[in-house]
């Protein structure tokens, strides 16, 4: 029999619901194997998806999807959901150009009730759906599946606070696996951990075993009562305080517990809260042992596991930032590092080890991270907030009012600026120049290589106001970044190649994409370095000797660095034709970064073609 024979008979949740109940454990086993097989060939999120297999099966078995709505928080755990909802045959295209997304996308399937990829939005969205159902006179259910790490974000509690006073068919499922991308932090995580390991319960369990082990039926009864007591006494005081009916915790890998519980919950009125305990990497021993390593692996052999990669020929920008932060902290005791739950991705592992008392992981709480940094800056410290460009969007109000308005010296190290590849539009850092440039007191640095990244981070640290240094995912040219803490002057660019008539103004790493065209067409090439403040003195000189400007940036053209140049030209009354090259006014999907850049005309050939068509 084929290894996925039963799974291949399920092309929709309706097929799943027609299976005999006793077949579901076999289906879950095949589904887990299929997820492992798929991700090992395509790369993607693994540990989280292995941990939600039974929960996914149970939800689609009990609820009438897609009429009943399931909203998956973050959405990186939805591969089993995609496989069961008609996309099994396309999973070989996972996270590839024009292929299946790694996250829920409404346009991809009617079963993807809400598009997600950022954390802690599920309860708000599901509550909106539940209230819409009530207003429309529908009996459909709305379910939010949220991980324990996502509960560190205030938005989840704002939604629960709202939901607790509404009479609607809302079910919130806490997928408690004690694991986010970085280890979960904060008081709430300790609270949930204490629930499962408290001395009161451990002692009671030991006493029960000694007293009742001679009476098996009574022992089994007390064991069940003990599990019920855990749910009634401890977390109920938190979640029922929000107005939810709390149920759990139950084993999230036990279909004999999940299915009857969900069927009972369907009959209850008002907001319900189900606490399930799962294990990341469930069923694959290597992922169970190291869920962080298997959180988002590339291609690998499941029989062997992830091999230690060879030493990278050149460090990533994240690596360069991490080394710089350690060096800066060693040189200045006022330097502190902050991350909103992205220690590994932002290159802060070594800093956390060397400077534990100056390292702050605030959880998935970008708003708090920004204002927390502002408070530190008020007291004379030098906070560095390491944050992905796409996640800084979530702290925008705090950036404006708590940092920039008070002109506080906070450094924002913006990782993943520009396109990010397989994670797609939700994670692309396309908008930071546009949304930062309009804020008074903000400065924006755009390094073109690793050495410049380090120098501009030092410039930011030396500034008396807020500065963002944006750099892309992955490696640059491979130039040695060195260990110097010397800074570059604020708002000053540099002519890289001297040419005639046309000046190419490059903001960031696309400088190197434009260089062949500049050489071929005898154009001046300028490394602008700063999107704000612009090097107005340099622009003034260039206007005297050039008729045309080409601006190039790996960010949105609308409101970006090229727009800043246009605004400067207009304000000074200078006449100069400008071609703006950058990311178009559309969301760019997932795929290989080089292919995506080529698709929007930002390959070396695309840049040259655009310039030739306009000016030659």
**DSSP secondary structure string for all residues of 30-73:** HHHHHHHHHHHHH----HHHHTTHHHHHHHHHHS-TTTSEEEES
Query: 66: cis peptide before it, omega within 30°?
Result: yes
Domain boundary among 454, 470, 486: 470
Question: How would you class 21 by CB atoms within 10 Å of its CB: exposed for 0-12, middle for 13-18, buried for 19 or more?
Answer: exposed
SS3 (DSSP) at 139:
coil
Here the tokens at position 327 are: 């060096």
The H-assigned helical ranges of 420-530 are 432-437, 450-462, 511-520
Q: 100 and 130 in contact (C-beta within 8 Å)?
A: no
Phi–psi pair at 422, nearest 5 degrees: -65, -25
Same domain, 256 and 126: yes
Same domain, 511 and 578: yes
Same domain, 416 and 563: no
Q: What is the DSSP letter of 182?
A: S
Question: Which pLDDT does position 234 carry in this prediction?
Answer: 52
Give the β-pairing of 577-583 and 494-497.
unpaired
- Cα separation values, 246 from 73, 173, 232, 478, 571, Å: 19, 10, 8, 54, 61
Biggest CA pair distance of the chain: 97
Q: 547 and 576 in contact (C-beta within 8 Å)?
A: yes
Same domain, 363 and 508: no
Same domain, 285 and 423: no
91: in domain: yes
pLDDT digit string, tens, across residues 518-577: 999 999 999 999 999 999 999 999 999 999 999 999 999 999 999 999 999 999 999 999
211: in domain: no
Print the domain residue range for 130. 7-180+242-289
Q: 44 and 102 in contact (C-beta within 8 Å)?
A: yes
Q: 176 and 192 in contact (C-beta within 8 Å)?
A: yes
Q: 204 and 222 in contact (C-beta within 8 Å)?
A: no
Q: 534 and 491 in contact (C-beta within 8 Å)?
A: yes
Q: Which residue has the tokens 């708090």?
A: 368
Same domain, 70 and 123: yes
SS3 (DSSP) at 570:
helix
What is the number of H-type helices and E-type strands within the chain?
25, 17
CATH of the domain at 529: 3.40.50.920
Same domain, 452 and 514: no
In 3D space, the residue among 583, 597, 461, 460 whose CA is nearest the CA of residue 532 turns out to be 460
Same domain, 430 and 534: no
Q: 415 and 345 in contact (C-beta within 8 Å)?
A: yes
Q: What is the DSSP letter of 395?
A: G
Same domain, 561 and 413: no
Residues of the chain below pLDDT 50: 180-181, 193-215, 218-219, 222, 225-233
Query: To the nearest 10°, the Cα dihedral for 153, 75, 53, 7?
Result: 170
Q: How far apart are CA 54 and CA 488, in angstroms?
A: 55
pLDDT digit string, tens, across residues 267-319: 999 999 999 999 989 999 999 998 888 988 989 999 999 987 666 678 999 99
Q: How far apart are CA 15 and CA 111, in angstroms?
A: 14
Q: What is the DSSP letter of 279?
A: -
Same domain, 32 and 123: yes
In 3D space, the residue among 144, 146, 237, 148 whose CA is nearest the CA of residue 185 turns out to be 148
**406-439: burial string, b at 16+ Cβ within 10 Å, e else:** eebbbbbbbbbbbbbbbbbbbbbbbbbbbbbbeb
Query: Global pTM?
Result: 0.88
Phi–psi pair at 493, nearest 5 degrees: -100, -170
Those residues with Cβ within 8 angstroms of residue 455's Cβ, 6 or more apart along the chain or in another chain: 447, 484, 486, 487, 488
Residues forming a β-bridge with 305 = 301
Here the tokens at position 140 are: 């459909």
Q: How far apart are CA 419 and CA 594, in angstroms?
A: 9
Gyration radius of the chain's alpha carbons: 27
- Cα separation values, 221 from 97, 128, 203, 275, Å: 54, 40, 17, 21
174: in domain: yes
In 3D space, the residue among 531, 498, 575 whose CA is nearest the CA of residue 432 turns out to be 531
464: in domain: yes
- Cα separation values, 279 from 176, 275, 341, Å: 8, 13, 19
Q: 306 and 294 in contact (C-beta within 8 Å)?
A: yes
Same domain, 456 and 568: no
Q: Which residue has the tokens 């408690």?
A: 176
305: in domain: no
CATH of the domain at 403: 3.40.50.970
The H-assigned helical ranges of 509-601 are 511-520, 536-545, 561-572, 593-599
Q: How far apart are CA 207 and CA 295, in angstroms?
A: 39
79 half-sphere exposure, CB direction, 13 A CA radius: 31
Here the tokens at position 189 are: 């995580």
Candidate list 87, 169, 280, 358, residue with the active-site label: 280
2: in domain: no
Candidate list 32, 230, 382, 394, residue with the active-site label: 394
Q: How far apart are CA 53 and CA 31, in angstroms?
A: 7
Candidate list 30, 54, 344, 366, residue with the active-site label: 366
Q: How far apart are CA 526 and CA 505, in angstroms?
A: 5
609: in domain: yes
Same domain, 168 and 132: yes
280 catalytic? Reply is: yes
pLDDT digit string, tens, across residues 142-183: 999 999 788 888 899 999 999 989 999 999 999 988 654 455
395: in domain: yes
Q: Count of domains in the chain?
A: 3
Residues forming a β-bridge with 415 = 388
């Amino acid at each position: 029999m084929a290894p996925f024979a039963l799974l291949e008979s399920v092309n929709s949740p309706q097929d799943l619901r027609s299976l005999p109940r006793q077949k579901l454990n076999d289906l879950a086993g095949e589904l887990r194997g299929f997820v492992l097989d798929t991700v090992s060939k395509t790369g993607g999120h693994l540990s989280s998806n292995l941990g939600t297999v039974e929960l996914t099966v149970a939800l689609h078995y009990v609820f009438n999807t897609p009429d009943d709505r399931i909203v998956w928080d973050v959405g990186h755990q939805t591969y089993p959901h995609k496989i069961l909802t008609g996309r099994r045959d396309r999973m070989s295209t996972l996270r590839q150009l024009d292929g299946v997304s790694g996250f829920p996308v409404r346009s991809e399937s009617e079963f993807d009730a809400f598009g997600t990829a950022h954390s802690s939005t599920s309860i708000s969205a599901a509550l909106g759906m539940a209230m819409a159902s009530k207003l429309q006179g529908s009996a459909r259910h709305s379910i939010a599946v949220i991980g324990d790490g996502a509960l560190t974000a205030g938005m989840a509690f704002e939604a629960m606070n709202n939901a607790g006073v509404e009479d609607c068919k809302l079910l919130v499922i806490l997928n408690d696996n004690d694991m986010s991308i970085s280890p979960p932090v904060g008081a709430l995580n300790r609270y949930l951990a204490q629930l499962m390991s408290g001395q009161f319960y451990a002692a009671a369990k030991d006493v029960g075993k000694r007293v009742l082990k001679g009476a098996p039926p009574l022992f089994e009864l007390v064991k069940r009562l003990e599990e019920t007591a855990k749910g009634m006494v401890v977390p109920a005081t938190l979640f029922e305080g929000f107005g939810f009916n709390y149920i759990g915790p139950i084993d999230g890998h036990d279909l004999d517990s999940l299915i009857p519980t969900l069927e009972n919950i369907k009959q209850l009125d008002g907001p319900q809260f189900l606490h399930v305990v799962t294990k990341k990497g469930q069923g694959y021993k290597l992922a169970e042992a190291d869920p962080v390593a298997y959180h988002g692996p590339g291609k690998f052999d499941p029989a062997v596991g992830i091999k230690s990669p060879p030493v990278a020929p050149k460090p990533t920008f994240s690596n360069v930032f991490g080394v710089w932060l350690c060096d800066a902290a060693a040189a200045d005791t006022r330097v502190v590092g902050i991350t909103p739950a992205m220690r590994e991705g932002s290159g802060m592992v070594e800093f956390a080890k060397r400077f534990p008392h100056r390292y702050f992981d605030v959880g998935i709480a970008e708003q708090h991270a920004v204002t927390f940094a502002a408070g530190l800056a008020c007291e004379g410290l030098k906070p560095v907030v390491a944050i992905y460009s796409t996640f800084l969007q979530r702290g925008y109000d705090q950036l404006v009012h708590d940092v920039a308005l008070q002109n506080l010296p906070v450094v924002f190290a913006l990782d993943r600026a520009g396109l990010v590849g397989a994670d797609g539009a939700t994670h692309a850092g396309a908008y930071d120049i546009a949304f930062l440039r309009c804020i008074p007191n903000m400065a924006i640095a755009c390094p073109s290589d690793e050495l410049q990244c380090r120098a501009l981070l030092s410039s930011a640290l030396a500034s008396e106001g807020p500065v963002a240094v944006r750099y892309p995912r992955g490696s640059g040219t491979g130039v040695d970044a060195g260990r110097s803490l010397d800074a570059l002057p604020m708002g000053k660019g540099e002519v890289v190649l001297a040419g005639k008539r046309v000046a190419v103004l490059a903001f960031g790493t696309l400088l190197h994409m434009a260089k062949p065209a500049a050489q071929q067409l005898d154009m001046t090439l300028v490394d602008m370095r700063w999107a704000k403040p612009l090097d107005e003195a340099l622009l003034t000189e260039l206007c005297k000797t050039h008729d045309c400007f080409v601006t190039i940036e790996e960010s949105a053209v609308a409101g970006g660095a090229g727009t800043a140049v246009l605004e400067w030209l207009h304000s000074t009354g200078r006449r100069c034709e400008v071609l703006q090259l950058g990311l178009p006014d559309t969301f760019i999907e997932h795929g290989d970064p080089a292919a995506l850049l080529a698709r929007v005309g930002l390959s070396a050939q695309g840049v040259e073609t655009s310039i030739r068509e306009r000016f030659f």
